Structure 1
Amino acid sequence: MKKMIGLALAATLLASGAARAQQSEIKVGEINSYSSLPAFTEPYRKGMELALKQINDAGGIKGKKLVIISKDDGGKPGDALTAANELVSRDGVVMISGGFLSNVGLALSDFAKQKKVVYLAAEPLTDAIVWSKGNDYTFRLRTSNYMQAAMLAEEAAKLPAKRWATIAPNYEFGQSFVAVFKELLTKKRPDVEFVAEQWPPLGKIDAGPVLQAIDAAKPDAILNATFAGDLVKLVREGNTRGVFKDRAVVSYLTGEPEYLDPLKDETPNGWIVSGYPWYSINTPEHKAFLDAYQQLHKDYPRLGSIVGYSTVMSIAALLKGTDDYSTDGLVKGMKDLKVDTPFGPIVYRAGDHQSTLGAYIGKTALKDGKGVMVDVVFKKGADYLPPEADAAKLRPAN
């Protein structure tokens, strides 16, 4: 009998201990393509780890420890939905975050709408996530397709090129980026025409036939939106065939270290790119981030590191700014939320739930056998978005 009482008491103590532990922490769910896209998501994880350490070392969220529960979606929308269900129903998170591929982000956004849970889309770039398919519960951190297309189109319009060809992966991200770049460049330069387009499958590019078709159209300039392993294959084959010689190239994301570094001495010269020149940013907020990141990880950051860090800092700013952790309370708190990031202060616009995070634009160059960005300028995100009232009209009626 004493043994049974002892076991019962032990169970009660364990239960009460677990309850106290839960009361002393705030759990947030996070989903990303860790196994399928490690070049971006591993630095992203390291950025999250730094932010989480800084937040909890400074006392957490009003004295409570911030806990991030991460799951891998393998780059598949179905797996992302399974993970989201587990996080919300089993793990009891107050909100979810993350996502890399645009189709995965759209699936998670729809989940957020159906389940009425806040989703902070960290990386997905498609404009649909905040505009044509936007909903009350989804907010997006990353500088969007529209914003970066506007930045790149601004530079492309300065080129003498009139005949353009496009290469982009055949899924939501590539399709939406090419569409908006065409629209914005044509507005600035009504004399341009698009004479060829290639849509290789993501992660499975056959660069020879793609470039042969592009070269046959005799464009003056090429717009490229391939990334990761597809980009390496495209550059290598293009260099071999001389397709890029005497042609301007505008290349989305190519200046991000996770995609530029693998090119090594094959890095093309003079491509206009968006990216992250961590080695040449001298702002106080970036220097503080860079020093802390290198001290913790003994490595240099990638763009994924910035996104992971800023995602967690956004979550912390939200949770510190409200006492109401209900979905309605968090939605209200996200609107016009101000967050300090390594790229400077940003705001999550109430009108369309898009953050004003900016981006760096420059040109590729080879230095000491490695690709770098030169002639770099930082473009403020707010300057490349439609006015909030106009953007709000792009969203579905509630």
Structure 2
Amino acid sequence: MFCLVSAQSQNRGVTQTRTTRLERGRAALGPALELVHTGRAPTRAVLTAELGVTRATAGAVAAELEALGLIQVDARPGAAAGSQGRPSHRLSIAPHGPVVLAAQLHADGFRAALVGLGGRMIATAPACLEVPPDPVQIIDAVVEAGAGLLRETGRRCLGAGLAMPSAVAEPEGKALNPIHLSWPAGVPVRELFTEALAKAGVRGPGGRPLAGHAGNDINLAALAEHRHGAGRGARHLLCVATGHRGVGGALVLDGRLHTGSSGLALEVGHLTVNPAGLPCFCGSRGCLDVEADPLAFLTAAGRKPGPDGSLLRQSADLLRTEYTDPAVRAGAELLVDRLGLGLAGLVNILNPDRIVLGGLHGELLKADPERLRAVVADRSLWGRSGSVPILPSTLEHSSLIGAAEAAWQPVLDDPLAALG
């Protein structure tokens, strides 16, 4: 009897151990995928160390992610040149793996793309430069463009994300201030986006309907830069950018986007940098939104907007090709001074360890990096004791990639549940 009870106890212990290992392995799938997705685990050895698990568990987790079609594990381990120690299997994104549909709306048009893991742009539809005033019409159009890409490529779609030039309230998913699209406040963009996906026949694994994700374009750009661009490795990343119209900002804290209590944090476009300046849509005067965007630059440089519609493209081209023109240089310096004043105030409040500038702001930084850094250092309390690195964005379509990041997040959280 004693032996029987002892054997049963041992069997129960083995079963419990196996169950625990299985649970631990499943719990590690999401963190492991995120490590490969962001390039922080190029080998199985690094994955083992980052997860804090045994080599066997890391191997099983990598094999499961490969079986799901998400990553690729090199069959033969190899060592990097000059490295020491035992060679390890290299990990990479599956070259023909699934994608998400990313969409972006802005004042000068819209664009759709398919984005894979690792922030890789798989396919993009030509940008449309006509923005219908009807929210349903434009959201349907950008989703149909993305659906066309899915049909052409034959890729599996696991999610969809939309970047908006507006604060998007949580949890309702409503665009509160889509002023640059001439929409009324409170448009239910997430609901309209989800309905457009269904109308276009965009389905998830097993033919399930997809729930669309929607967010502010600069928030999503900051997330993309933190995971795949100039913000990688920063603990407290501040991102400020001007796209086609207006100025936005975002903060990433310990790898997570800080959106405040209802998704409306960091409306930096409404910092006053010129009290006697232009009237702003918010009711104040001299906000960054109207003093440091492409239209403000063209005006300060003595240029009129051209007929092609894209103020961002016109401003960037002018800065790159005619910076030696005294009027263009004076206009750029005026915007740099206003931007630097706003950044200095944000540095005093937020104390970031890195700042990434996108859109025209990134181009202004490249044109005269020392002037902007000097303004921030001179005007900020912490700038005097230690300079905050200020870098230009390195992603060409950061808001689109950020929209994809929002769509990938459920997969990164629980790959098995997301893939059904």
Q: TM-score range by the shorter chain?
A: 0.3 to 0.5
TM-score, normalised with respect to structure 2 = 0.32
Q: Which one has more relative contact order, counting CA pairs under 8 Å at least 6 apart? A: 1
